[in-house]
Structure 1
Amino acid sequence: MTISREHNCQNPFRISCVYIRKRLQTQGISMYRYLLYVLFAAPMTHAADYPPGEIRLTRKIDLHLEATPVEGLAGRTLNLPPGFKVKLFSDQVDKARFMAFDGRGVLHVANMKTSGSQWRPASGRQSTVLALPDADGDGRADRVYVAADDFHWPHSVAFFKGVLFVADDDAIYRLEDRDADGFYEDREVFAEVPGFLGRSSEHVTHSLVFDKGNGKVYFHIGSGCDLCRESDPERATVLEFNIDGSGRRIFASGLRNAIGLDLHPVTGELWGAGNGHDREGPNLPPEWITPIRDGRFYGWPLAYAFRVWTDFSISAYQQAIFPLTEQDSSLVADIERPAALVPGHLAPMGLHFYARDQFPSQYENAAFVAFRAGVLGDDPGYKVMALFTEPDGTGRETRETRTRSNARVADFITGFRPDPQDNSFWGTPVGLTTDDRGFLYLTSDRFTQAVFRIEASPLQGAWENPPPDTLLADAPLRLDSVIRLRRPLEGPGEAQLTADLSAVSGPEELALQRIDDTTFRLRTELSAGPLNGRKDLIIHLEQGEESTKIIHSLVVLPKADQALFADEMLWKQGVLFGAELDPTQTDTVFSGQRALRIAARGFTIEFLPPAPIAGEGYTALHLALHPGDAVGGFRPSFSLVANRDARAVQLIDQIDLEEKQWQEIEIDLNLLALDKPIESLRLVGSLRGTFYLDDIRLVAARPPTAPTAVHEQAQDSTPRGFALDPNYPNPFNSSTTIGYRLDKAGKVQLEIYDLQGQKVKTLVDRNEGPGFYRLEWDGTNTGGYPVATGVYLVRLQSQEAVEVHKMLLLK
């Protein structure tokens, strides 16, 4: 059966109709099953951010991690952002999982006590809950004692009004310490739950979250299999209870293994982090982090991400799920776009929102997620990531789109797997929590059995108006930025701030101008330079024995696309296997005068740049392909490999060998997971016969622009670059970041007003060049005093335009 693109086929897969035809031809899917695909397909309607059926991993940013010795653990280092340090809080644990602090500030941890076993509990009920007091606050547990025992597979603990709740594999237990000796001897079953019962033993680690403000308890029960239709309706769900255990009901479904649960500190909404199924290869499905909402369906076992259907050409999945039903289609059509997607097979564990202030302000209300795996996917894994997004997880409102997401993720702790090319690792991040002082705690439950404490340097500063995020190559770089110390230290002398601008051919040590004890200015004029790539502008902070740094990454964009082939070979030819190239033919051409003819019999074609090229500043590899008379064989393949040893990105699903005309393909460079400049690009495939390539080029990124706020003509299709971006976070409870962009040099004012029109503070009043700017408002007025809870207006004015946005400060 053949279905051409002209038929406008829609189907419940992430894949094209070309792919369906290939699956029908090569996998032998029956007509009956194919008709089910088409009959119950959810229409691929356009969405504001990206359409259903597509996968977009969340944009990743760099926190500039540095190797940091683990205090108390000889010979081990972890990678953390500048100014952070990590301590071994205790190694007197055995498969420590999730944690909670009691009312006295004593850390308690679920201790499975499996004596090295990865997946099975010890015989009997040997597991415990351990207490780890740190009375002197030095970051090391003073002692470790058993606070509760007689558990089978405990994973999650929580406290409510002095009562300890433990989520075991078979029940939620409620325990009290009536004699106040630290041991919780009074015990009762709060709720029974599915445990180790036959095939239902696949996901039996349960997570427990108390919503104290609304009097609710949330409890996750994982699926009993990798992918199947569950007979128990409470499997793969989050249950909701009243605080007293009554009112048990299914709150949300389609959650295969959402171990990480926490409440957002601003909205109070439940969020989760979920594990995907196993058999779709190293990249799929991506893991997700998103709000968990009442009555919603989250995909499993039918789909994942944003309405991307499971690959039912996998026979085990077909047998477990088919036939599909109209109800299945309705469920998938109801899936919301996740707040964040990260690479597959990382096994997200603990999810914890940071609601303290010991860390720098950029981490306010950020989510930390622990990932316990990595060797089965293409991301090294075994790490903690930070997620920065709006409180509701849906994105922010801009002119370009109503719900464009501004979510970003970043590696926050790495190093448990020191060599990403080696499958060995020395620890597995699992549980996360913070204490009242704002220190972050992390458990590891394999190889290194430990609890770690992470803390930030007390010396902290922030850009009030950072340099631009992007500039075109050779553009002037005018720096006039203010850095403000967040909380200067008392006693050890004055703080010293110096800038290292060597990345943009500036001085390595330029002293900043001191305005007062907390305010410093960086002012100089440089050039972005001729080469694209990331340029780190570094501010070093020193005071007494404390030192840290603030880093701003400037991405220099190339002025034009980088051509590999355009009428001739512009990159060198490297490895050539199973193919003959003719770059001079003129009969079949996409653009220009000549195209590259390839006579192939299973091929490898390598392109080598004249010099390594930084991937930053380019968005995609573009190529035009004409299939000629080439055939793909029984299992056709066509892929792109960067730098020879990186993962292959499959392109065959974007190609229709039966469509005898030019087809344009763009491959997102993010899919290549580049960790160094591009030194080689290889096309590898199984095609046999003659086909053609043309217009092969790296696509240069363009600075984002937006129309002006006034005097915009509808017929003018060229956007202008003046814009005030929504502040982030919003609402906020101590500080917020305000971004804006300018298309031309001139006088700029950025001011805060209250709703009565009274000016609260002037943040910017000076001449600035074109570019992208961000600064932080700390919720204070001109006199430096904190302002009250309420709505405030931020006003950006240039010589030609004005924009105003609302901000909500909550305290």
Structure 2
Amino acid sequence: MKSLLKYALISFIALAVALTAVVVFMPGVSVPWKQLTGGADTDPQTVDRQLQVAAGYRIELFADAVPNARWLAVTRRGDVIVSQPKRGQVTLLQADENRDGQTDGQRVLIDGLRRPHGLFLHENWLYIAESDGVGRVPFDHSDGRLAGRYQRIVEGLADEGNHWTKTIGMGPDGWVYLSSGSTCNVCTEEDPQRATIMRFRPDGSDLEIFATGLRNSVGFDWSPKNGGLYATDNGRDWLGDDFPPCELNLVEKDAFYGWPYANGNRIPDPDLGVNSGADIKQKIAASRPPVHNFPAHNAPLGITFLRSPTQPAAYRDAALVALHGSWNRSVKDGYKVVSLHWDEQGNIHQKDFVWGFLSADKSEVHGRPVAIAEDASGNIYISDDYAGAVYRVTTGDGESAANVAASKPRMQAPNKPLVIDSGAAQRGEELYQRHNCAECHATQVPLQNLAKKYNLQTLADYFDTPTPPMPNYGFSSTQKRALAHYLMAREVEIESGANLLLPPGTPVPIDPSGPSG
């Protein structure tokens, strides 16, 4: 045992010496050291002491002890879901019900995944982008729990080399968009899906490449003003402190954005573009230049357009971008969140929104922002994979975030009518009686408010992984559907006196506070 510990200590020292040599002898390298050992520590005092935010806002530590916190999604109830790819898990941070500015608790939603990164919620599904595929799982917004089994809907995505993270988002056109970064700093890719943004249908079908030449577009979002798809992109390394710029691109179908042959505004790459043939030169000339430049090596990741009407007028429809921060510079830069503002002529102006993750002398890193999410009440959440934290930004100078949050309306789920098939409900009643379900549900576990927690699909999927003491009966898809229809119809009949024996497909009204069907 002592020899193993001795070997581990020697190995760690050797690694530290090697990394020190890299920093000392390779120009243009300034690594945030604590990233190598798990990240920095943070607490409310650190946030108060170090971080600053734009006028009209206040920032607080919403959650700590969230190692490798990356992508974010906010549920209808106000819970925050965060991916932790290096842990292979997705975690739920409970909504701040007691209004003290911090999460009421956290728990792992799902684990055992392959480097999960991108997240989004659509209807009653939680979509998760793993490094080699995409899956989805039924999600119960009312209590923040999974309501069925996790299903992989896109398989076979490559994740070797650099830039293995995958980000996903639902577009206004109903397609799911998926970014996949390059395997390298600069090279000609063999896999046509790398360094692209792709898209597919919500069920995983019809996967296609949407745009190419995007070295590492980790973040993207759609403008609420013009509907355009804007994506951040990380420029290549080893061309000096100040070149090439990182980019914001307006991404359109079948367009090419330059990498690996050009950088910035069609400037030929010294490795693959300068001495290229006519076909490459023509490709560079036809490439799309960025619509906005970020400083070189600032590493823009998440981008989110602010949509809540509760935001100050100057920030409505503005975009927030997380600048993860440099490593390939002799002096650190980035490490902040900026806001982008479009004027009437379409010009983009950049301002600092949250800063202080980098010390004033640029020697010490306190955090590295990654992703940004806004809830329906206008609260802004920012993840930090360096400090293992999630921050919450609320409106109000000097006013506590708890008071600000208390004054905002709670989010409400959208409403849809529940459509019950009476034939299926009758078959479900037979299953209910055959398995003597009433024995438990009449006394120990009363069935109440199902329509507020589930729709028909998520209730059917629940039977795959039921909560004990209910056993898993191994129902077929048809049986699960039938039982779901019966239980919903039974609840409606008890609460409203609606007639269960209606023609198949007859809409049955339910409590409008329930989730969409």
User: For residue 561 of structure 1, what is the aligned residue in structure 2?
Assistant: none
Cα distance, 1:181 vs structure 2? 6.7
1:655-684 superposed Cα distances (whole Å, 9 cap, x missing partner): xxxxxxxxxxxxxxxxxxxxxxxxxxxxxx
The correspondence for 1:234, drawn from 193, 204, 208, is 193
Amino acid aligned to 1:160: H
User: Matches of residues 102-181 of structure 1 in structure 2 within 5 Å?
Assistant: 102-114=75-87, 126-177=88-139
2:429 matches 1:429: no
The correspondence for 1:381, drawn from 334, 338, 341, is 334
2:313 matches 1:361: yes
Query: Structure 1 pair 274/184, CA: closer, same or farther in 2 (3 Å)?
Result: farther
The correspondence for 1:186, drawn from 149, 154, 164, is 149
User: Matches of residues 327-726 of structure 1 in structure 2 within 5 Å?
Assistant: 327-377=279-329, 380-389=333-342, 396=345, 406-422=347-363, 424-446=364-386, 448-457=387-396
2:155 matches 1:203: no
CA distance in 1, matches of 2:92, 2:113: 12
User: Matches of residues 24-43 of structure 1 in structure 2 within 5 Å?
Assistant: none
CA distance in 1, matches of 2:79, 2:127: 15
Cα distance, 1:150 vs structure 2? 1.5
User: For residue 725 of structure 1, what is the aligned residue in structure 2?
Assistant: none
User: For residue 11 of structure 2, what is the aligned residue in structure 1?
Assistant: none
Query: What SS is found at the alignment partner of 2:282?
Result: helix
Cα distance, 1:355 vs structure 2? 1.1
Amino acid aligned to 1:288: E
Query: What SS is found at the alignment partner of 1:218?
Result: strand
2:65 matches 1:92: yes
Conservation of the 8 A alpha-carbon contact between 1:307 and 1:335:
yes
User: For residue 240 of structure 2, what is the aligned residue in structure 1?
Assistant: 281
Conservation of the 8 A alpha-carbon contact between 2:94 and 2:104:
yes
Query: Structure 1 pair 132/174, CA: closer, same or farther in 2 (3 Å)?
Result: same
Cα distance, 1:277 vs structure 2? 0.6
CA distance in 2, matches of 1:74, 1:345: 25
Query: Structure 1 pair 193/410, CA: closer, same or farther in 2 (3 Å)?
Result: farther
Conservation of the 8 A alpha-carbon contact between 1:171 and 1:193:
yes
Cα distance, 1:192 vs structure 2? 1.9
CA distance in 2, matches of 1:415, 1:458: 17
Query: Structure 1 pair 361/82, CA: closer, same or farther in 2 (3 Å)?
Result: same
Query: Structure 1 pair 347/184, CA: closer, same or farther in 2 (3 Å)?
Result: farther
Conservation of the 8 A alpha-carbon contact between 2:238 and 2:328:
no
Query: What SS is found at the alignment partner of 2:150?
Result: strand
Query: Structure 1 pair 300/75, CA: closer, same or farther in 2 (3 Å)?
Result: same
Give aligned-pair identity as a percent.
30
The correspondence for 2:51, drawn from 78, 101, 110, is 78
Conservation of the 8 A alpha-carbon contact between 1:217 and 1:241:
yes
Conservation of the 8 A alpha-carbon contact between 2:167 and 2:218:
yes
2:219 matches 1:260: yes
Contiguous gaps of at least 5 residues in structure 1:
1-68, 115-125, 397-404, 461-489, 491-811
Query: Structure 1 pair 129/171, CA: closer, same or farther in 2 (3 Å)?
Result: farther
Cα distance, 1:194 vs structure 2? 2.9
CA distance in 1, matches of 2:144, 2:366: 36
Conservation of the 8 A alpha-carbon contact between 1:70 and 1:85:
no
Query: Structure 1 pair 415/181, CA: closer, same or farther in 2 (3 Å)?
Result: closer
Cα distance, 1:76 vs structure 2? 3.2
Amino acid aligned to 1:188: Q
Could you say what the CA RMSD is over the residues aligned between the two structures, in angstroms?
2.6
Conservation of the 8 A alpha-carbon contact between 2:91 and 2:106:
no
Cα distance, 1:449 vs structure 2? 1.1
By relative contact order (CA 8 Å, sep 6+), the higher-ranking structure is: 2
Conservation of the 8 A alpha-carbon contact between 2:137 and 2:146:
no
User: Matches of residues 732-743 of structure 1 in structure 2 within 5 Å?
Assistant: none
CA distance in 1, matches of 2:379, 2:286: 39
CA distance in 2, matches of 1:338, 1:74: 34
CA distance in 1, matches of 2:210, 2:45: 43
Query: Structure 1 pair 113/240, CA: closer, same or farther in 2 (3 Å)?
Result: closer
Amino acid aligned to 2:203: D
Cα distance, 1:445 vs structure 2? 0.6
Conservation of the 8 A alpha-carbon contact between 2:79 and 2:95:
yes
User: For residue 12 of structure 2, what is the aligned residue in structure 1?
Assistant: none
The correspondence for 2:251, drawn from 292, 307, 313, is 292
1:147-181 superposed Cα distances (whole Å, 9 cap, x missing partner): 22211211111111110100111111111247977
1:622-647 superposed Cα distances (whole Å, 9 cap, x missing partner): xxxxxxxxxxxxxxxxxxxxxxxxxx
CA distance in 2, matches of 1:193, 1:259: 19
CA distance in 1, matches of 2:247, 2:275: 27
CA distance in 2, matches of 1:181, 1:127: 15
Query: What SS is found at the alignment partner of 1:350?
Result: strand
User: For residue 411 of structure 2, what is the aligned residue in structure 1?
Assistant: none
Cα distance, 1:459 vs structure 2? 10
Query: What SS is found at the alignment partner of 2:145?
Result: coil
1:585-625 superposed Cα distances (whole Å, 9 cap, x missing partner): xxxxxxxxxxxxxxxxxxxxxxxxxxxxxxxxxxxxxxxxx
Cα distance, 1:185 vs structure 2? 4.5
CA distance in 1, matches of 2:227, 2:156: 25
User: For residue 663 of structure 1, what is the aligned residue in structure 2?
Assistant: none
Contiguous gaps of at least 5 residues in structure 2:
1-41, 400-406, 408-517
Cα distance, 1:325 vs structure 2? 3.3
User: For residue 326 of structure 1, what is the aligned residue in structure 2?
Assistant: 278
CA distance in 2, matches of 1:100, 1:170: 20
Cα distance, 1:201 vs structure 2? 2.0
TM-score scaled by length of structure 2: 0.65
Conservation of the 8 A alpha-carbon contact between 2:43 and 2:64:
no
CA distance in 1, matches of 2:174, 2:166: 20
CA distance in 2, matches of 1:171, 1:129: 19
Query: What SS is found at the alignment partner of 1:96?
Result: coil
